């Protein structure tokens, strides 16, 4: 009964997010087309299952690591972090790619997305090609790419452990001194005192409310 209630809550949440998306963004015809094809394809593929199987094969201890950022939430994050045409956005662990597709088509900036689950990244690449979106989708381990030149880095990695977060903060320090790093549920200052939070605000996910944080390196001043 408890599981059914949770299932229903998530379905209703996703339905509301879809209505929000339709009313606010389907006037962008390309986004409407892309989102329709995207939703159709994913009637037949379950991303939670794909990620679980991938993680199992990799022998990871935590296999249930999939989750998605709702469109209403990524829209709020993009507005709060001042993403615009001149931004260079990086999504670490892009899953189905819905965040990257949205940022590219609505905010029209440069987008790079990293994901290591074959089926998910292959579908993202396919949609990217047929809709000529020019997003850079890379099938890679996100710990092994260079973070140079990005203005915004989105890390929805609630399943990362402390060691992994510290690996990121070290890498960000060397390769993306000026980037705004957007994290969900935790700020980077908690793990590494060289970072400060310039903004934090409530965001909604299917599982409930949490906070988004905009983190920057302390030496860096960006006028916020």
Ligand X SMILES: C[S@@+](CC[C@H](N)C(=O)[O-])C[C@H]1O[C@@H](n2cnc3c(N)ncnc32)[C@H](O)[C@@H]1O
With CB under 6 A as the contact rule, the residue among 38, 66, 131, 186 that binds ligand X is 66
Cβ-based nearer residue to ligand X, 103 or 217: 103
Question: What distance lies between CA 41 and its chain's CA centroid?
Answer: 20
Distance CA 210, CA 156 (A): 12
Question: Considering only residues 82-121, where is the footprint of ligand X by CB under 6 A?
Answer: 91, 93-95, 98-99, 114-117
Instruction: Name the minimum Å distance from CB 49 to ligand X.
Output: 12
CB distance 69 to 39 below 8 Å:
no
Instruction: Name the minimum Å distance from CB 140 to ligand X.
Output: 6
Instruction: Name the minimum Å distance from CB 171 to ligand X.
Output: 12
- Which residue carries 């690591």 as its tokens? 65
Report which secondary-structure segment, H or E, holds 100: helix 98-102
Q: What tokens were used for 30?
A: 């390309």
With CB under 6 A as the contact rule, the residue among 111, 133, 135, 142 that binds ligand X is 142
Distance CA 103, CA 13 (A): 21
| Binding residues vs ligand X (CB under 6 A) | 51, 65-69, 91, 93-95, 98-99, 114-117, 141-143, 156
């Amino acid at each position: 009964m408890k599981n059914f209630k949770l299932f229903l809550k998530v379905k209703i949440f996703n339905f509301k997010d879809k209505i929000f998306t339709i009313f606010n963004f389907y006037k962008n015809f390309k986004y409407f087309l892309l989102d329709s094809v995207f939703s159709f394809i994913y009637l037949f593929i379950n991303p939670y299952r794909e990620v679980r199987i991938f993680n199992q094969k990799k022998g990871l201890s935590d296999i249930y690591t999939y989750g998605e950022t709702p469109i209403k939430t990524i829209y709020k994050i993009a507005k709060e972090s001042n993403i615009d045409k001149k931004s260079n956005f990086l999504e670490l662990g892009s899953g189905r790619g819905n965040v990257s597709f949205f940022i590219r088509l609505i905010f029209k900036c440069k987008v790079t997305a990293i994901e290591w689950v074959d089926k998910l990244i292959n579908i993202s690449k396919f949609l990217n090609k047929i809709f000529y979106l020019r997003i850079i989708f890379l099938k890679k381990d996100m710990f092994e790419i260079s973070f140079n030149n990005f203005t915004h880095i989105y890390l929805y990695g609630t399943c990362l452990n402390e060691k992994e977060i510290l690996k990121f903060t070290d890498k960000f320090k060397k390769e993306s001194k000026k980037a705004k790093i957007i994290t969900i549920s935790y700020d980077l200052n908690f793990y590494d005192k060289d970072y400060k939070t310039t903004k934090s605000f409530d965001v909604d996910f299917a599982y409930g409310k949490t906070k988004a944080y905009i983190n920057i390196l302390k030496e860096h001043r960006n006028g916020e």
